[in-house]
Amino acid sequence: MTTVVDCPTCQTKVEWTEANKYRPFCSERCKMIDLGAWAEEKYTIPGAAPTDPLDEEKQ
């Protein structure tokens, strides 16, 4: 049984196989659109702001 996923960019059904070198994307175009969105900081990963150890020494 082959796993089928939706392309994260265009929602086209994509087979998750070694033959699909762009998986989980359907094409190089969709892969590059996603990469561009990351580069433009359209996506974020939630998390706490990093702390600066030097700020703790000042207190």
Looking at residue 57, what is its pLDDT?
Answer: 57
Q: For 20, what's the count of Cα atoms within 13 Å in the CB-facing half-sphere?
A: 17
- In this structure, what are the phi and psi dihedrals at residue 42, rounded to the nearest 5 degrees? -80, -20
59 vs 56: CA distance, rounded Å: 6
Q: Would you list which residues are annotated within the binding site?
A: 7, 10, 26, 30
Q: Would you list which residues are annotated within the binding site for Zn(2+)?
A: 7, 10, 26, 30
20 vs 52: CA distance, rounded Å: 43
Q: Is the confidence at residue 3, as pLDDT, over 60?
A: yes
Looking at residue 13, what is its pLDDT?
Answer: 96
Q: Note whether 21 and 5 are within 8 A (CB).
A: no
Looking at residue 45, what is its pLDDT?
Answer: 83
Per residue in 7-57, pLDDT tens? 999 999 999 999 999 999 999 999 999 999 999 989 888 888 878 777 665
**Domains of the chain with bracketed CATH:** 4-44 (3.30.50.10)
Looking at residue 59, what is its pLDDT?
Answer: 53
